[in-house]
Structure formats: C-alpha cells, structure tokens
Amino acid sequence: MVREGPSGLLKKDVLVAGAGVSDRLVELLSVQGEDLGANWADKVTGRLGGRVSRAEVKQELQEIYTALVAALGSGSLDGHGDAYGEVRALLTELSRNRARQGFTPTETAVSVFALKEVLEPALSGDGGDLAAYLKFAALLDTLGLFTIEVYAATREELVAAQAEQLLELSTPVVKLWDGVIGVPLVGTLDSARTMVVMEKMLQALIDTGSEHAIIDITGVPAVDTEVAQHLLKTVVAARLMGAECTISGIRPQIAQTVVALGINFGDIATKATLADALRHALRRSGVTLSAAPQASAR
Amino acid sequence: MSERVPVLQIGQVLLVSIQIDLDDQSVLALQDDLAAKVVESGAHGVVIDITALDIVDSFVGRMLATVASLSRLLDAQTVVVGMRPAVAITLVELGLSLGGVRTALTLEKGLQVLERAHVSSLGASGPAGAIPDTAAGR
C-alpha cells in the first residue's frame, strides 16, 4: 500500500508522541476524505430511517468532518480542548436540531459514532494505525457523549418551556361581575402553581379594582393539608389587600377528606358551587338579584 | 435624623401616606405622631396608604397592627389601603395576617369603609352587619 512507508515510520513516534497519532489520523482522514465522508453520510442516513435527506446529512457531516480534520491538524486529541471548539459548536447545532425534531439519543449520537465504523476499513492493520485508531475512538467517544449532553439539555429546555406554558395556561383569572373575579383551578396544586395563582389573582384584584375573588377548586383532584395551606395563604393575602375571597367547588369527597384531615378553613367562606359563591359575593357587594323578568341586577 | 411621615387631616379622617422606605426610628415616630394627632383632632378614622411601599418587613407589619389597636382605643377606625400583591404575599409568608386591621384596595374604597363604619356607629340602631369587615371576613 502507498501508506505503508509513512505508517511504518510513524509507528515508533506514535508510542511517544500524541502529535504523531493525530498526524496519522489527519492523513487517514484526508487521503480518503471524499469516500469516508460519503460512507459516513450513508451510514448516518440509514440510521435516521429516512427522516432527514441524505444531502442534508452530508452537508452537516461535511462541515463537522472538515472541522474535525482541522482540529486534529493542531495536534490535540482532547475533545474538551480549545482546538475542538468549532467541532463542538457544529455538534451542538446538530444535537439541538435532532432533539427538537424528536429523534432519539441513539439516532443523535450515531452521527458521531458512525465515523468509527467508517474509518475501520481504511486502517492498514499495523500497530501504529491501531494505536491511532484507539485514540481516535476515545476522542469520538468524548464527542459522542458531548452530543448526548447537548441533546439532554435541549430536551430539558423543551420540557421546562412546556411546563411554564402549562402554568400560564392553567391559571386564568376571569371577571364574573363588576367587582367579582373568578379563578377556576384545574389540576394539582403545588407550591409553584399556588404562587402563580396567588400573584395573578392579587394583580387582577388591583387591575380590575375588584373586592371579591372566588377560587373555584372543582378541577382540583385532591385536597391535602398542603393544598389547603396554599389556599388559606392565598385567601389571607387577598384579605390583606382589602378583598374578600370565597372558595367554591368543594365536591362531597373533598369535603370528606378535609374534615377527615382536620383542616380548619376558619372564617373563610366556602361554597359548594360557583353559583353559590357568586350569589354570596354579589350579596356582599350590595347587588340584589330579583326574580323579576325585566331586571336581574340593580 | 430620620425622615418624618406627615399625618394629614381631611375632615374627620387622618391620612398617612407612606412614600419612603421606613426605618425603625421613623416607624416609632409615626406611631407617636399618629396617636397624638388622633387625640388632638378627635378624628374617627385613620387611613394608612402604603401604595408606594415595595417592602414591608415584620416591624412595619407590627406597626400597622399596633396603630390599629391604638386608634381603636382612641375611638378611631384604621384602614390600610393600597397594599401591593408582592407585599401581601410577603406578609403571609412571614405569618403576619394583620388580624384586626381593616384593609381596602384603594384610598377611595378605604374612605368609604370608614364612612360606613362611622355612620353605623353613630346610629347604633342601624342594620347590624352592614359593615364589610374584610379583616374579620365572613
């Protein structure tokens, strides 16, 4: 083979210097650059199950390939080092895209690991190449792990963003009447949600100048001591601001649980249904409801 | 020398609008001034406006409760108005529910509360329970 000579020479150097290893790798990767790149793209495309076109994959990998060869050219084999900044930046972009498009971690990391398989047939088989290949494999492992990390981080960002959106979605404050606002709660109450509910409700009291707020817990699946505590805090905060708060939508099972747990709602007005609570709030604000057909409120 | 918070008189109501961050000294000074002014003017109501306060610590919180019970002794009702949501949340987290202090959303509503309380206290025969006492609830 043509490379017999240089690799034989390098064999000695390889054992003493990392620079020799990276030189050999640059050589291996450069000589058959086109073929390796094409093979790499083929393998990765195969693994992605045709969800990304070959041309796209090839373009992505070509950039990484070029950056990788350039980094190896600098003599470093440390995947966390400065030399690989460009490679990492490209991998970050690739991993982020894959995570957003819903690929699995394996399908993301395969982009890096496939290069090992591709490079294997190109080895000449002597000790120097083997050592170089092992070093290269270690480097690719580092980069592969890096893609997984970026992938996981991106997924977590997505989850956090969705949780935040859910929080926003699930805490509407609605105006029920002049001076009466309603907060229909749906889903489990935890500290974070109670905080959001409390803030939104208190702000709404100010914005609308309302003196009555109704917290409807029909959609809350269970009330334990913690949830009750959160509700009480919200009511007390509303009172401090000069508004009155009623809790409505207490289902029979919930009432049973509350009594069984020995939770005392004190002097807080509680009503079975939202309608009862609204009637209570209107009466408190001096609005009278009459059965006469022509006027419902005065 | 700490700053003093002015106590203003509007008819039979005293208005204290706290515009600065209070240190402990000015809190005590305000408490004294207010007590003296209630006696001097014979006011039937005190409105403490804390719209401008971003932070209410436990000391100020206790001052509000003290002023309320103090003026009740001097036959004047106290209403705290304009508490911000953040302040209300802080006080609740601190465990201060300001029991016995009346609150109202705005200065205007606070004055209405005082007016109604005054009217009903004048006419003892007036309809019982007509005063919306937000602090006592129910």
CA-closest candidate to residue B106, choices B50, B29, B64: B50
Domain termination site, one of A106, A140, A163: A163
Residues of chain A with Cβ-Cβ distance to B103 below 8 Å are 239-242
Question: Do A16 and A71 belong together in one domain?
Answer: yes
Domain presence at residue A43: yes
Distance CA A214, CA A227 (A): 16
Question: Do A103 and A17 belong together in one domain?
Answer: yes
Query: Between helices A127-169 and A85-100, what is the axis angle to 10°?
Result: 50
- Distance from the B61 Cα atom to the nearest Cα atom in chain A, whole angstroms: 11
> Which tens digit of pLDDT belongs to each residue from B27-40?
889 989 999 999 99
Residue A289 is given by DSSP the state: B
Question: Do A122 and A249 belong together in one domain?
Answer: no
Question: Do A137 and A240 belong together in one domain?
Answer: no
Question: Do A146 and A269 belong together in one domain?
Answer: no
CATH number at residue A146: 1.10.490.10
Question: Do A143 and A180 belong together in one domain?
Answer: no
Can you tell me the mean pLDDT for A92-96? 89
Question: Do A88 and A191 belong together in one domain?
Answer: no
Q: How far apart are the first and last CA of chain B?
A: 44
> Which tens digit of pLDDT belongs to each residue from A240-287?
998 999 999 988 888 888 888 888 888 888 999 999 999 999 998 888
Domain count, chain A: 2
When CB atoms are compared, the residue of A205, A241, A268 closest to B137 is A268
Model-level ipTM above the cut of 0.90? no
Domain that holds residue A55: 4-163
pLDDT higher for A278 or A118? Answer: A278
> Which tens digit of pLDDT belongs to each residue from B84-114?
998 998 888 888 878 778 899 999 999 998 8
pLDDT at A235 over 70: yes
> Which tens digit of pLDDT belongs to each residue from A145-194?
999 999 999 999 999 998 888 777 777 889 998 889 999 988 887 777 88
pLDDT higher for B18 or A288? Answer: B18
Query: Between helices A191-208 and A225-240, what is the axis angle to 10°?
Result: 20
Do A205 and A182 touch, CB atoms closer than 8 A?
A: no
Domain ranges of chain B: 7-122
Least confident range of A91-105, B61-75, B115-129: B115-129
State chain B's mean pLDDT as an integer. 83
Can you tell me the mean pLDDT for B6-16? 91
pLDDT higher for A88 or B125? Answer: A88
In this prediction, residue A8 carries a pLDDT of 44
Domain termination site, one of A163, A184, A204: A163
Identify the contact set of chain B against chain A, taking CB-CB distances under 8 A.
79-81, 83-89, 91-93, 97-98, 102-106, 109-110, 132, 134-138
State chain A's mean pLDDT as an integer. 82
Q: What percent of chain A has pLDDT over 70?
A: 91
Question: Do A150 and A259 belong together in one domain?
Answer: no
Question: Do A198 and A278 belong together in one domain?
Answer: yes
Query: Is residue A127 classed exposed, middle or buried when 0-12, 13-18 and 19+ CB atoms within 10 A define those classes?
Result: exposed
Pick the CATH number of B7-122 from 3.30.750.24, 3.40.50.460, 3.40.50.2000, 3.40.50.300: 3.30.750.24
In this prediction, residue B14 carries a pLDDT of 93
Which of B47, B87, B89 should one mutate to test binding to chain A, selecting the residue with the greatest count of A CBs within 10 A? B89
> Which tens digit of pLDDT belongs to each residue from A30-44?
777 777 888 888 888
